Chain A
Amino acid sequence: EVQLVESGGGSVQPGGSLRLSCAASGFTFSSYYMYWVRQAPGKGLVWVSHINGDGSNTKYADSVKGRFTISRDNAKNTLYLQMNSLRAEDTAVYYCASSCRDGTCPGWGQGILVTVSS
């Protein structure tokens, strides 16, 4: 069974840091681009970052560039998002998601809430 399970969320003060993890199982993790997407309460989906299969290429939304770092450990089938200098506007549910290929879309995690507040 394909699973993506996020962890590491929670509440943090402005300026603080958090590291999200996404544990993948049930598919060949290293074959897929992986994404972080966030959704503020009551709002739409926003792309945050993505990384290619071997981790050599990363992209970021302008709103998080220089503050967030995406990475992956293919030996552990895990995706990460290091979030530094957090701001109130980073408050959202964060989802990890896979790309699709050859008729297969491993899918999305259940999401994890990050709250940035003093």
Chain B
Amino acid sequence: QAVVTQEPSLTVSPGGTVTLTCGSSTGAVTSGHYPYWFQQKPGQAPRTLIYDTTNKHSWTPARFSGSLLGGKAALTLSGAQPEDEAEYYCSLSYSGTRVFGGGTRLTVL
């Protein structure tokens, strides 16, 4: 089974920009992996931020964007807010199955 890798932790200053990445043990991540990004705050259910690499949900804040970057899926947060402090997970599709990354703990400090 493929392994999906994410940075264990990142820190961003309020108002700053940070990019979280999502890599695959099988090689470059492409749009065919249909990357999803999720945000989870302590004690809460996850919520979907980005789907199919770049698409946003109707409520996804404009400061979040998805892309492919250097063979990985990427989630960029531009203008970080204190409420963005959370765990972020990516998920990739492999021939119809899905694999989650281990998550990135984002601190806004």
Binding site for B on A (CB under 8 A): 35, 37, 44-47, 50, 57, 59-62, 95, 97, 99-100, 103-105, 107-111
Contacts and interface: CB of A to CB of B under 8 A. Distances in A.
Contacts of A110: 45
Interface of B: 1, 36, 38, 40, 45-48, 51-52, 55-58, 87, 89, 91, 96-103
Question: Which secondary structure dominates where chain B touches chain A?
Answer: strand
Contacts of A61: 97
Given A107-B48, A108-B48, 5 more contacts: A44-B87, A61-B97, A97-B48, A100-B55, A108-B46
Nearest to A47: B98
Contacts of A97: 46, 48
